[in-house]
Amino acid sequence: MREAVCIERGSRISRFFAAFGLLILVLLITAPFYGGRSDLYLLVEIFSYLALASLWNLLAGYTGLVSIGQQAFVGLGGYTLFALTIFFGLPPLLAVLIAGPVAAVLAIPTAWVIFRLRGAYFAIGTWVVAEVYRLIFAQVSALGGGSGTSLPTQIIQSIAPTRAARDNLIYWTGLGLIVAVFAVIYLTLRLRWGLALTAIRDSEPAAESVGVDNYRTKFLIYFLTAGATGSVGALISLQKLRISPDAAFSVNDWTAFVIFIVVIGGIGRMEGPLIGTIVFFLLREFFASLGPWYLMLLGAFAVVITLTMPKGIAGLLAERFDLQLFPLRRRVHFLEQKSKDSTSSASADALERPGKRQKPGVSTKNME
């Protein structure tokens, strides 16, 4: 007996999920034709949280940069949208796209400050920077100061002439944004960047020893996630049509809930934010009416998940059922094959049945 090696990246489950995902994407694209206004609003909200959770998972789950200040870029993206539309007259949908690069540029001085910190100090530093941004925009009277402001009516009407058309365009923008976020994250992790990020997360000295530029890699991922988070923040503000410092830079809405989603779904796995977002919105749908008890329930649920499933729901499914919806790594399978000699001997044994011996002078080869 000898073993043949089969190296593959995808599996039957991942290929089935890819086909199923395309079907879901088609249904989502056509949702405005059969869904109501409230359904589209909810879907855009789901897209926003899924994008934020996926980006935070890339930052913390793969790079090891545990940030509790990503609300800084949500707020920056939202205020960039309002500034570009009110002061410069740009179309709101175009401002959503431009808000990403603006947030990424502002992430450069932010990274220069917080990358000097490590561990818990880095996490606290990101939150402090977010609070600084909140206090700065609270002093900008042209954008409403501490009480905030709303988009002018003429800007809202410039999106589309009717409310239904505006809702559809905002919905399709959100759908395109989440598809782009998933595609960028997936392609990034499929490249050598994915291995570099995992190496940095596991051990920075070991990563440097094999030639990984830790600072450059972490900076680029931080830059990328900040830009994408800025666009998501602009989309959130466009959907709400209003912005204020407390809402735009809310640590509870844009960081605490996002961390909850990633932790229960499975940190360090692409499937984690997807599963976590579904669970989060199901819990919110059934228990949000409980008021303060709702937040206590979320905390208790997170504690139970972390104690019983340290790797999250996605990690448990991967360990028990080898379920990987987004194949990122190559896997080696050993296939047993019979050698020619063993095959020949097996054929000869099959010919020699009990009670029937070969006649003298007749070879096995001729009988075959």
pLDDT tens digits, 75-116: 999 999 999 999 999 999 999 999 999 999 999 999 999 999
* pLDDT bucket at 362, cuts 50 / 70 / 90: very low
* Residue 297, CA distances (Å) to 49, 283, 306, 333 in order: 19, 9, 14, 43
pLDDT exceeds 80 at position 8: no
Could you tell me which CATH class the domain 35-321 is placed in?
Answer: mainly alpha
For CATH 1.10.3470, the residue range(s) in the chain are 35-321
pTM: 0.86
- Among the ranges 170-184, 192-206, 292-306, 333-347, which has the highest mean pLDDT value? 170-184
114: phi then psi, degrees, rounded to nearest 5: -80, -20
